[in-house]
Structure 1
Amino acid sequence: MAIVHGHFDVSVAPAAGQLLAWRERLGMIIDVLPSRATIALPFRGVMDRYEVGDLLFTDSETDQVTQERTIARISRDNLRRIAFHMVLSGANGCVVGRPANRAGSAQEVGILAIDLDQPIFAQRDACRHATLFVPGTRLQHLFPDPGALHGRVLGPHQPTVRLILARALRLADGIRHLPAEAACRELLALVELIAAAYAEAAGLRGGKRAIARAMAFDHARRFVHAHLTDSELTPESVLQALGLSRPSLYRLFQHEGGLGAYIRHLRLRAAADDLVRYPGLTVQEVAYAVGFQSASDFTRAFRRAYGMAPLEMRHYGGARDGEQAE
């Protein structure tokens, strides 16, 4: 095992090209959205990147920046990890939302979880921040569906979060001097701390009640995934099948906006993949295959969620395949 280290600093570029240089560097993961005004201004952007086994840790310092990862972008890559974004110093304000409307609520961020398989829009203040990229399999002992963490924020003033951020800062300052095995142990310990903090915040850790809640969530999640393509799958059918109370079931999926929103999200995400994977299927056939009862309802829901029509999504996928063929 070895630590693969990379360093990048936009200060070597002319001032008017620094933000564009940062956009190009991050382009493999996320899209940076510059405005005409910000392109001409100097931009602070420094990153140290450390790859250790299946973990990736970055230590960055940037000015205010706006970023998004769209469903079209997701269709063009194979990045399927959970990223934990941690604000180490500087301003911790961040607007987090979805690319479809580029709107969200401003909040103080200690740690932000991002599922790279789901769209996100984020406008972050100038700060030093670390990001830990983790395979979902390393989180499944606490979160059977790690994607449920997407968009969840832990505030910077929580005692557990302060501990995590202090540990992440020490690691960012010292990881380059550690043997690879020691760096891997430190990163895995940080993963466990972060996962435990999110599990506690979600009520999935800490006594018999939390254990029962975790088991109920896992049971409901498995049932939904197993019956996702069944057009009869609804919150009501899940209630009847699992015997849970309506308030209990809603609380399990509260972060997703309720069980109905969770089911719709999974169906739309499956449809986005199918539109690219099966270009011979019509939009109506894709809609029915993932459990929608109406092609028009599917198209409206797809546009609301992703800011584009299903056929536009297919166009992006076709463009990607053409690029790969070349």
Structure 2
Amino acid sequence: MKTELLKDAESPGNLRDRFSTEHEAPHQQLLAWRQRIGYFLDVPISRADQARGFHGTIDAWRGGDLTFMDCRTDPVSQSRSAARISTDTVRQYAFHILVDGAIETRTGTHPKRVAMQSAPGIVALDMGQPMQMTRSGCRLQALFLPRTLLASVLPEPESIHGSVIEYRSPIARLIPAQLAELARNIPHMSTSESSEAMRACALLIGAAFGKEAGLTGNARAAVRAAAFAQARRYIDENLHESDLSPESVLRTSPLSRPTLYRLFENEGGLAAYIRNRRLSQAAEELRRYPHKAVIEIAYGLGFNSASDFNRAFRRAYEMSPLDFRQFSL
């Protein structure tokens, strides 16, 4: 059973790969699916799930540093946890394109961003950030691409993690035909042709997300994008400063309070973004410094007490700081 397709996504060459559970015994089918994608996603399995059997197929093609997949599955849940992210190197971006069925995707830490898809559309996922996905029986396509490609058309691409677009805006309405052409022709393409076709689709989808987020398209949007990036950099550079707050970010920004706050709406608000970045940094320090006291990490990142930190960390990562550290070792 092949499981190396995405791991080697930076190497040149076009790889075609087909996977199906149909040749497995029914009680082994969901286990086979988990084994196929388990190097970058977690698939919870109960005894009842296993007994029911599971039908799933993946047709995948790789061209250069991009990968295109066409998937059909029975209902299934998949997730990418912060603990998993801390132990692997999968950091591509993915556009999950719903063709038929329904998908619920949860992203972020607290509050969670919940995206419900029952109509054709696309959810953007950053493999460097946590997510949980619950599918009905559905067909979806997926386009995996490197951050550098997405960043060429979309400033701060991590900000669209969990966002959804449907085919309503003028630029988004161009996407279905291009995807259909890609799916129809990619089995017959050369390596260079498939790479070029996937790149064209990725750039079009990235531009559509940028337009939806108001981060591209004119001088005013460019100023907002630059100020958004500046605010995020300031926050990351001052996570260990006790006076880091929405007010201190506002003092360094050329934007008005309402405009700056609107840019962080998808993150749950500016205060939530600061808290979640501190929690993310705490998770990194728990992994990198196994002998550093948890309370030292908490105080160093602006938390007032061990109980406040433990409660916030558990709410964000669904495990205690000590359990997270143990998992990451």
**CA displacement, residues 80-128 of structure 1 (integer Å, 9 cap, x when unaligned):** 11111112x321x222225989994633361111111111111112222
Q: Residue 110 of structure 1: which of 106, 109, 121 is its match?
A: 121
Question: Is the contact made by 1:164 and 1:190 (CA closer than 8 Å) also made in structure 2?
Answer: yes
Provide the residue aligned with 2:236 in structure 1.
Answer: 225
- Aligned pairs for 1:73-92 (under 5 A) are 73-87=84-98, 89-91=99-101
Residue 283 of structure 1 pairs with residue 303 of structure 2: no
Q: Which amino acid aligns with 2:319?
A: M
Q: Residue 140 of structure 1: which of 151, 156, 165 is its match?
A: 151
Give the secondary structure class of the aligned counterpart of 2:29. helix
Residue 49 of structure 1 pairs with residue 60 of structure 2: yes
Question: Deviation at 1:160?
Answer: 3.8
Q: Which amino acid aligns with 2:117?
A: Q
Question: Is the contact made by 2:20 and 2:56 (CA closer than 8 Å) also made in structure 1?
Answer: yes
Moved more, 155-164 or 253-262: 155-164
Question: Is the contact made by 1:292 and 1:298 (CA closer than 8 Å) also made in structure 2?
Answer: yes
- Aligned pairs for 1:125-164 (under 5 A) are 125-156=136-167, 160-164=171-175
Give the secondary structure class of the aligned counterpart of 1:12. coil
**CA displacement, residues 192-220 of structure 1 (integer Å, 9 cap, x when unaligned):** 11110110110112223322222221222
**CA displacement, residues 55-101 of structure 1 (integer Å, 9 cap, x when unaligned):** 222221112211111112212211111111112x321x222225989
5+ long unaligned stretches in structure 1: 319-326
Query: Number of matched residues?
Result: 316
Moved more, 262-271 or 282-291: 282-291
CA 90–105 in structure 1, closer or farther in 2 if over 3 Å, else same = closer
Moved more, 233-242 or 53-62: 53-62
Question: Deviation at 1:21?
Answer: 1.1
Q: Report the Cα distance in structure 2 between the residues aligned to 1:75 and 1:50, rounded to whole angstroms.
A: 27
Q: Report the Cα distance in structure 2 between the residues aligned to 1:72 and 1:146, rounded to whole angstroms.
A: 22
Moved more, 281-290 or 228-237: 281-290
Give the secondary structure class of the aligned counterpart of 1:11. coil
Provide the residue aligned with 1:323 in structure 2.
Answer: none
Q: Report the Cα distance in structure 2 between the residues aligned to 1:159 and 1:39, rounded to whole angstroms.
A: 44
- Aligned pairs for 1:1-326 (under 5 A) are 1-87=12-98, 89-91=99-101, 93-98=102-107, 104=114, 106-108=116-118, 110-156=121-167, 160-318=171-329
Question: Is the contact made by 1:81 and 1:133 (CA closer than 8 Å) also made in structure 2?
Answer: yes
**CA displacement, residues 29-71 of structure 1 (integer Å, 9 cap, x when unaligned):** 2112234333222322111222222222222111221111111
Q: Report the Cα distance in structure 2 between the residues aligned to 1:206 and 1:144, rounded to whole angstroms.
A: 11
Question: Deviation at 1:170?
Answer: 2.4
Question: Is the contact made by 2:122 and 2:166 (CA closer than 8 Å) also made in structure 1?
Answer: yes
Q: Report the Cα distance in structure 2 between the residues aligned to 1:104 and 1:256, rounded to whole angstroms.
A: 12
Q: Which amino acid aligns with 2:288?
A: R
Q: Report the Cα distance in structure 2 between the residues aligned to 1:180 and 1:8, rounded to whole angstroms.
A: 20
Give the secondary structure class of the aligned counterpart of 2:22. helix
Q: Taking structure 2 as the reference length, what is the TM-score of the superposition?
A: 0.88
CA 246–167 in structure 1, closer or farther in 2 if over 3 Å, else same = same
Moved more, 4-13 or 106-115: 106-115
**CA displacement, residues 153-172 of structure 1 (integer Å, 9 cap, x when unaligned):** 11255554443233223212
Q: Report the Cα distance in structure 1 between the residues aligned to 2:38 and 2:176, rounded to whole angstroms.
A: 26
Give the secondary structure class of the aligned counterpart of 1:190. helix
Question: Is the contact made by 1:47 and 1:58 (CA closer than 8 Å) also made in structure 2?
Answer: yes
Q: Report the Cα distance in structure 2 between the residues aligned to 1:182 and 1:217, rounded to whole angstroms.
A: 36
Identity %: 44
Q: Report the Cα distance in structure 1 between the residues aligned to 2:187 and 2:26, rounded to whole angstroms.
A: 29
CA 22–85 in structure 1, closer or farther in 2 if over 3 Å, else same = same
Q: Which amino acid aligns with 2:243?
A: E
Question: Deviation at 1:134?
Answer: 1.5
Q: Taking structure 1 as the reference length, what is the TM-score of the superposition?
A: 0.89
Moved more, 138-147 or 199-208: 138-147
